Structure 1
Amino acid sequence: MKLKKIAAAVGAIALAGSLAACGGDDSGSDAGGEKIKIGIKFDQPGLGFKNADGTYSGFDVDMATYIAEGLGYEKDQIDWKEAVSANRETFLKDGSVDMILATYSITDERKAEVDFGGPYYVAGQDLLIRADDNSITGPDDMKGKKICSVTGSTSAQKVKDEYGAVPQEFDSYSKCITALQGGQIDALTTDDIILAGYSEQFPGEFKIVGQPFSEENYGVGLPKGSKDRDKVNDLIEKSFEDGAWEKAFNDNLGNSGYELPEPPTVDRY
């Protein structure tokens, strides 16, 4: 895979002094202190998942760990917080977390309230179908098909309005998976990397159609006016170059059948 080269200015990042100080009280970093609080999803296999033994795993978890370590924190100094979609801006505003990596799409509306590093990944809405199903090869095949997503999601509305699908909504993706396994629905739709996590969780049962029909730029959510934004962007670009980004994907989603795309261009707005 051809990875873009980091600009010379990034290669000369003086992280040694400034990042080593991030764990102290006079760091100039928004996180500071002995711990860094990071919001992740707890229920997305392959991305952000709380395991039965209380540990955490996933692509977002590995990327968050990499960034935290670059900011001067050890793994045992990370305090993981569950960030559901509805509370992400609130958590960043009230100090419940110092940053969020939780399939958090960068939008102009959200940028008015919080800052973002990245994007560190570009996802697209796609379809997950049973492995033996050849009736859906792209979004245009959804007309009249029962397509599942979570209640109130833009994913469900999009497939209904633009492709003539029959939305089937549940309050969790896991219920969509059960319905897909049982043949009550024809496909599950959401961001392709989220679908990859479910494909990884059930080897051989499902496949991703691989014809995305939207674009979602995942960013690192930060408090508005964050002093760490440039450092986070430097570390994201560094992960593209040193192989950490690709390793995070392969370790968590490498067996899903979903191919890792090219790394995105970080937006230094």
Structure 2
Amino acid sequence: MKLRKVSAAAAAAVVLALTATACGGDGDSDSGSGSGGGDKIKIGIKYDQPGLGLKEPDGTFSGFDVDVATYVAKELGYEPNQIEFVETKSADRENALARGDVKLIAATYSITDERKEKVDFAGPYLLAHQDLLIKTDSDITEATDLNGKKLCSVTGSTSAQNVKKDFAPKANLTERGGYSECIAALQSGAVDALTTDDSILAGYAAQEQYKGKFKLAGLKLSNENYGVGVKKGDTETVNKVNAALEKMVSDGSWKKAVDANFGPANYKNEEAPKIGVIVQ
């Protein structure tokens, strides 16, 4: 794996921006400047990903992305009751930031060059990988073992196609409407494996009804650098979020959140990534 580090010029720019931030804010009530940070802050998350971003039946929210967003918001000056979590689907993330519907997005948002043309990113705050979820007694140990077996993924996902193209061309692909349907098919034996990001798989496997039934294969079929999306050009907010993420790691809150949300699935997470370093 190659590491793409920020240049010296970029690092200097960050220092200058932080210095400017220390001298004064821009007065935006959602910028998080000072105590209280304004009336509220809107943060985009997923509502349907256990372990990452999930809206519970009682209206509360849980998951690693939620924990990261809550910590960052606090560092920006917002208490939990000042956070408004907004459901932000993958296809609408860039538009939601551009329209100003949300201030930040923490929603399994992989940092890519294409996306960086439209939004800015703080982070990364998690390095995930495409993986397989299998039954605990499965004999699948490599992606090539999927040849002749049934592989499930959600309709429209590229994950299963990547497996067929690069590792197991003879895998039998089954597409379902959602990950929950794939989990049910895996549990019943209708499919042999489910594929997507390991963080998403771990979140589902950690649910109470699935504990001990599934495991991650532990493969690293891709690198997914999750970042916090910020409106293009909002350098001040990017710098503040980066500082909050660094503090979350240094004070142990990051590791605590990883263990709480993914631990039951035996998720072997990578170490916390360094700000500005993208693993290719």
Q: Normalising by the residue count of structure 2, what TM-score does the alignment of the two structures yield?
A: 0.85
2: CA distance between counterparts of 1:212 and 1:228?
32
Q: Map 1:22-33; keep pairs closer than 5 Å.
A: 24=29, 33=38
Deviation, 1:26, is 8.7
Q: Stretches of 4+ moved more than 2 A in 1?
A: 16-29
1: CA distance between counterparts of 2:23 and 2:82?
18
Deviation, 1:74, is 0.7
1:183 aligns with 2:192: no
2: CA distance between counterparts of 1:26 and 1:149?
38
2: CA distance between counterparts of 1:103 and 1:197?
12
SS at match of 2:174: strand
Percent identity of paired positions between Structure 1 and Structure 2: 54
AA of the residue aligned to 1:144: G
AA of the residue aligned to 1:193: S
2: CA distance between counterparts of 1:129 and 1:233?
35
Of 251, 260, 266, which residue of structure 1 is paired with 2:260?
251
AA of the residue aligned to 1:220: V
User: 1:138-172 deviations in whole A, cap 9, x for unaligned?
Assistant: 21211122111111111021011112122211110
2: CA distance between counterparts of 1:142 and 1:205?
19
SS at match of 1:255: helix
Counterpart in 2 of 1:139? 143
CA 22–128 in structure 1, closer or farther in 2 if over 3 Å, else same: farther
Q: Map 1:42-121; keep pairs closer than 5 Å.
A: 42-121=47-126
Does the 8 Å contact 1:23/1:35 carry over to 2?
Answer: no
Counterpart in 1 of 2:212? 204
1: CA distance between counterparts of 2:148 and 2:75?
49
Does the 8 Å contact 1:23/1:72 carry over to 2?
Answer: no
2: CA distance between counterparts of 1:249 and 1:52?
23
SS at match of 1:266: coil
Counterpart in 1 of 2:272? 263
2: CA distance between counterparts of 1:153 and 1:18?
45
2: CA distance between counterparts of 1:206 and 1:28?
44
1: CA distance between counterparts of 2:63 and 2:178?
18
SS at match of 1:228: helix
1: CA distance between counterparts of 2:174 and 2:271?
32
SS at match of 1:116: strand
2: CA distance between counterparts of 1:26 and 1:86?
25
CA 36–18 in structure 1, closer or farther in 2 if over 3 Å, else same: farther
2: CA distance between counterparts of 1:34 and 1:77?
7
Deviation, 1:255, is 1.5
CA 18–241 in structure 1, closer or farther in 2 if over 3 Å, else same: farther
2: CA distance between counterparts of 1:63 and 1:99?
11
AA of the residue aligned to 1:90: N
Does the 8 Å contact 1:20/1:71 carry over to 2?
Answer: no
2: CA distance between counterparts of 1:90 and 1:74?
26
User: What is the aligned-residue RMSD (CA, Å)?
Assistant: 2.6
Counterpart in 2 of 1:6? none
1:225 aligns with 2:229: no
1: CA distance between counterparts of 2:55 and 2:30?
30
Q: Normalising by the residue count of structure 1, what TM-score does the alignment of the two structures yield?
A: 0.88
Report how many aligned residue pairs link the two structures: 256
AA of the residue aligned to 2:237: D
1:34 aligns with 2:39: yes
1: CA distance between counterparts of 2:266 and 2:24?
37
CA 28–77 in structure 1, closer or farther in 2 if over 3 Å, else same: closer
Counterpart in 2 of 1:153? 157
AA of the residue aligned to 1:233: N
Deviation, 1:219, is 0.3
Does the 8 Å contact 1:20/1:72 carry over to 2?
Answer: no
Does the 8 Å contact 1:21/1:27 carry over to 2?
Answer: no
2: CA distance between counterparts of 1:101 and 1:25?
16
Does the 8 Å contact 1:127/1:190 carry over to 2?
Answer: yes
